[in-house]
Amino acid sequence: MSSMKDDIVAQIELAGGRHDEAEIYGGAAGDLGLTGGPGSMSWEINGDLASVGAAGVGAILMEVLHPSVMHGVFTQSSYRINPYARSRNTLGYVLRTTFGNTEAAIAVIEKVKKIHGYVNGTRADGVAYRALDPQLIAWVHTCIPWAIMMAFDHYNRPLSRAEKDRYLTEQAVIGRMGGADWVPETVSELEDYVERMRSFMAYNDQTRQFADFLLGTSGDIATTRRQRFESWMGLHGSMTMMPDWARKMTGTYHSEFVERIVLRPNEKLKYRIVRWAMGEMPCKAMALARAAGVRAPTTSEGIAASAPVRQVA
Ligand code: HEM
């Protein structure tokens, strides 16, 4: 009979994937990958799956507030047919670019750029767009580390301004390699940038339908009442970390009371359950072993239990 922990891990892996491929997270001894290796803010923050999970759905909703991004996703993504594959690949992108060896990290960025090369169109209001427009890439990129950093700051440990700046600077490498000319690298650049971008944002019919999909109420997939409740709590909880204007625009704004008594405690509980069930993520354990030049523990040796690793040669 499987334990409660196994069931939770299975559920997390169904939606998020395993991320323990040796060819991606293993590799040459001492290879630190793209974001700085052990000791970097990226490895600390993105290594906390619970923070990445708490941030995810809010980051996605922020990304699609840009009507060009929304149109591209709405008309050219298979998210309705294969939502788990999309969420696994999106999480995989964050983990590979942070913990993957340099070759694997560059490869996933190039692969996704190739996919984006085919994504373009014209919105209902006549505005033509292409996913590889550096400004669109910059917006989507920004929403990801921004949301993860906020989640970590709320639920793991408070980050100093200098730590946040370091994290954004490390992650900016990924944004630029993904096709952006410029992305914010400090908290003040982030705040100015979000304020500048605000006038481009919209909550249109496509966004409404997309939000319904996230909430499990669009009818695209069968959902139980409990799943819809959990999705509602997850989306509204994740959006508590975003600016008030975005929460008002998306109908996820609540009073301080509801936030403090209902949404934040629920997010905190989920956060604790994920940390308890998952322990150290396999991809991080493998990347740490790679960086230190030691053999990565295999899953059967218990990566999550931080099995001791043996020196190679
Ligand atoms: C740095 C910015 C971006 C990142 C990190 C990103 C991430 C990704 C990833 C990881 C995939 C592959 C998903 C898979 O293989 O299942 C993907 C596909 C896609 N992206 Fe992006 N994206 C970005 C920007 C954009 C923008 C600006 C648009 C729209 C204007 C867009 C629209 C799409 C679409 C339509 C797909 C195809 C999804 C599918 O096949 O279902 N992306 N993106």
Report how far ligand 1's centroid is from the alpha carbon of 112 (Å).
7
**Ligand 1 residue neighbourhood (C-beta within 6 Å):** 68-69, 72-73, 76-79, 85-86, 89-90, 93, 112, 115-116, 119, 129, 131, 136-137, 140-141, 175, 178
Report how far ligand 1's centroid is from the alpha carbon of 304 (Å).
30
- The per-residue pLDDT for range 38-59, each reduced to its tens digit, is 999 999 999 999 999 999 999 9
Tally Cβ neighbours within 10 Å of residue 160. 9
Q: What is the pLDDT of residue 1?
A: 52
Q: Whose CA is nearest to atom 36 of ligand 1?
A: 77
Write the DSSP symbol of residue 214.
Answer: H
Ligand 1 mutation target, pool 94, 116, 183, 201, most atoms within 8 A of CB: 116
Q: What is the pLDDT of residue 16?
A: 87
> Does residue 95 have a pLDDT over 60?
yes
- The per-residue pLDDT for range 142-155, each reduced to its tens digit, is 999 999 999 999 99
Distance CA 100, CA 41 (A): 15
- The per-residue pLDDT for range 184-229, each reduced to its tens digit, is 999 999 999 999 999 999 999 999 999 999 999 999 989 999 999 9
Write the DSSP symbol of residue 175.
Answer: H
pLDDT-derived band at 15, boundaries 50, 70, 90: confident
Q: What is the pLDDT of residue 25?
A: 97
Rounded to the nearest 10 degrees, how much is the dihedral formed by the CA atoms of 34, 35, 37, 39?
170
Residue 304 sits at the vertex; the CA angle it makes with 302 and 306, to the nearest 5 degrees, is: 75
The proportion of the chain whose per-residue pLDDT surpasses 90, expressed as a percent, equals 83
Q: What is the pLDDT of residue 312?
A: 31
> Does residue 167 have a pLDDT over 70?
yes
> Residue 92 CA: which ligand 1 atom is closest?
10
Contact of 149 with 166, CB cutoff 8 Å: no
Q: What is the pLDDT of residue 297?
A: 62
Contact of 61 with 53, CB cutoff 8 Å: no
Mean pLDDT across the chain: 92
> Does residue 279 have a pLDDT over 90?
no
- The per-residue pLDDT for range 16-41, each reduced to its tens digit, is 888 999 999 999 999 999 999 999 99
Q: Mean pLDDT throughout 85-93? A: 91
Output the six-digit token pair for 49.
């799956």
Write the DSSP symbol of residue 40.
Answer: S
> Residue 90 CA: which ligand 1 atom is closest?
10
